[in-house]
Amino acid sequence: MQKITPFLWFDNNAEDAMKFYTSIFKNSKIISENRFELEGQEFLVLNGGPYFKFNEAISMFIDCKDQAEVDLYWNALLADGGAPSQCGWLKDKFGMSWQVIPSILGEYLNGSDKEKSGRVMDAMMKMVKIDVEALKNAYEGK
């Protein structure tokens, strides 16, 4: 078992959540009735009742290599009742917040050219799902 493991509280649908998440990420598996793994990260789950709900104070960040990967995870996580937000954020049907972000966004925002980074930030702030081509255009001043 890893030293630190996220523990996710669900109302009464932890098994459904594990099946949903492991169907989206190819390197994933259900380990036991209360444990699953996504891309090497283990999670524990509990059917604890309706007392606590997920909120944006904790989110899952997906580092995507390109637009195709952004689209894949974005669409899959919104399936069956998820809700898009802004700047690459969404909530899935269980209320978990996710950030679906292409790697290039971090490179653009953390680059040494503050003018280019500023244009990228401005472009991103107007997006719901991140558009890699639009980020590139903003970076290049197009």
Instruction: Answer positive or negative: Cα dihedral of 4, 57, 41, 22.
Output: positive
On whether both 137 and 114 belong to a single domain, the answer is yes
On whether both 31 and 83 belong to a single domain, the answer is no
Domain that holds residue 8: 1-50
On whether both 77 and 91 belong to a single domain, the answer is yes
- The angle that helices 14-24 and 67-78 make with each other, rounded to 10 degrees, is 160
On whether both 62 and 118 belong to a single domain, the answer is yes
In degrees and rounded to multiples of 5, residue 44 shows phi and psi of -105, 150
How far apart, in whole angstroms, are the C-alpha atoms of residue 133 and residue 60?
A: 24
On whether both 68 and 100 belong to a single domain, the answer is yes
pLDDT in tens, 66-119: 999 999 999 999 999 999 999 999 999 999 999 999 999 999 999 999 999 999
On whether both 102 and 84 belong to a single domain, the answer is yes
On whether both 27 and 43 belong to a single domain, the answer is yes
Tally of structural domains, the chain: 2
